[in-house]
Structure 1
Amino acid sequence: MPVETDADLRLFINEDDWAVPCHWTSTGGATDFPAIFDAEYQLITSPFLDGGAEGSTPQITMCAVDVPALAAHGDAVIVNFGTVKAALYTVVEFKPDGTGMTVVRLQEAS
C-alpha cells in the first residue's frame, strides 16, 4: 500500500511543470487527465541491418486512479503537446508500479 495519497501523487503529475493533458477513450467512455510523456530513443541492432534501426518507445506515466476502469489494450489516447500539436496513440501495455503510478506504453496510431 502506498504511503502517499492520490493528492500527493498528483503533485508529480502537474501540467504547470512537465505533464501534458491527455484524453483516453475506452469502451467505458472517455476521460481527461494529466500525464508525463516520454519517448525514449531505441537502437535495434540486427546482423541483417547495417547499423541498426532507430525508433522510440512512447509512454505516459500517470496516476493509477486516472486509468479508466475498463481500460484495455487497443484503447485510444490523445497526447496534447500544446495548442497546435496533438498525437494519437494506441495503448500497448500497462505497467502499474505498486506505488499508485502506472506507466502505459503506447504505439503511434496509423
Structure 2
Amino acid sequence: MAARRKFTNIVLRKTLDELRKTKSPFWKRVYELLSRPARERVVVNVSKINRYANDGDVVVVPGKVLGAGDIEKKVTVAAFSFSYTAVEKITQAGGKVMHISELVKENPKGKGLKIII
C-alpha cells in the first residue's frame, strides 16, 4: 500500500480538505490538480488567462498565477497563490482575485467556471 502524501503547508491542507468534501466533479478535478507534488503543480501567466477567458468569466487556476504578459479583460481569478505583479495586473484591468477556498464557498457546485491549466 502506498503511503499517503503529506503536505506541510497548512493552507494547502485546509484547501484540499474543503475540496475533498465537495460533491461536484468540477471541484474534484481541481482537487486532483492541486494535490500534485509541488514541481508538477500548475503555473499560469496572466497572458494565458487573457488568451482563454472572456470578459466577466470566473477562472480557476489550481496552482500559482504569475504576472508575465498583459491582461485587458475583466475576469475573476481564483487560485491557490498569486505573484504580486499578477494581482496588480488583474486588479488594474478591473478584475478580481480570490483564493480557491473563497470560490468554493461562493459556488459549491462549480457551475459556470473555467479551469485554466
Please indicate, yes or no, whether the TM-score normalized by the shorter chain is above 0.5. Answer: no
Structure with bigger gyration radius: 1
Structure number with higher strand proportion:
1
Would you tell me which structure has more helix in proportion to its own residues? 2
Per the normalisation by structure 2, the TM-score is 0.26
Q: TM-score, normalised by structure 1?
A: 0.27
